[in-house]
């Protein structure tokens, strides 16, 4: 009977640690849809850092957003107070052209079909405690431009860290 108590205690501790880690530190997330291709692909599984003391977000970071009815994975383009302008497929943040190397493949594809990857918009100012986000697959992304609007800081679940499945394509998402 003592051995059963020992096993039960070990199992109880393991479950407690797992629940704590998933709730407060890291959680897996399944990418749904093509809005972040080619950076992230449909049905890939990523680890998301949810550290409550790491609520500082940087421009260019991939984050998970709690949209109340569903979750979204997007890239932060504008921080609180930023002035965002998109003109001739070039992003300007606070008047400075911003390089977006993660868009190279999609930009080529858009040119081949005679389109711009990102339509012109702005200038718009990101409100305090909000973020402006877009998907990397701009032709097929619902984001701050067209449905999600500005994202409240408290609606950001965490930072994407790395793809862990499929195992043949494990990689960092930073």
What are the catalytic residues?
Answer: 35, 74
* Residue whose pair of structure tokens reads 């990689």 in the numeric block: 171
Q: Residue 55 to residues 64, 108, 155, 158: CA-CA distances in angstroms?
A: 12, 34, 11, 8
In angstroms, the CA 54 to CA 25 distance is: 10
In angstroms, the CA 159 to CA 89 distance is: 26
The SS3 call for residue 75 is strand
Residue 77 in contact with residue 132, Cβ under 8 Å?
Answer: yes
């Amino acid at each position: 009977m003592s051995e059963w108590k020992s096993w039960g205690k070990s199992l109880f501790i393991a479950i407690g640690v797992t629940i704590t880690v998933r709730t407060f530190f890291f959680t897996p997330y399944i990418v749904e849809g093509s809005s972040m291709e080619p950076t992230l692909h449909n049905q890939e599984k990523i680890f998301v850092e949810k550290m409550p003391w790491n609520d500082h977000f940087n421009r260019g970071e991939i984050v998970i957003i709690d949209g109340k009815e569903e979750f979204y994975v997007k890239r932060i383009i504008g921080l609180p107070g930023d002035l965002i302008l998109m003109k001739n497929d070039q992003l300007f943040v606070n008047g400075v052209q911003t390089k977006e190397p993660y868009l190279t493949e999609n930009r080529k594809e858009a040119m081949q079909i005679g389109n711009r990857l990102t339509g012109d918009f702005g200038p718009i100012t990101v409100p305090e405690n909000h973020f402006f986000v877009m998907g990397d697959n701009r032709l097929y992304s619902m984001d701050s431009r067209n449905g999600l609007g500005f994202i409240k800081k408290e609606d950001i679940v965490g930072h994407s860290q790395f793809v862990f499945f499929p195992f043949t394509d494990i990689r960092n998402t930073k």
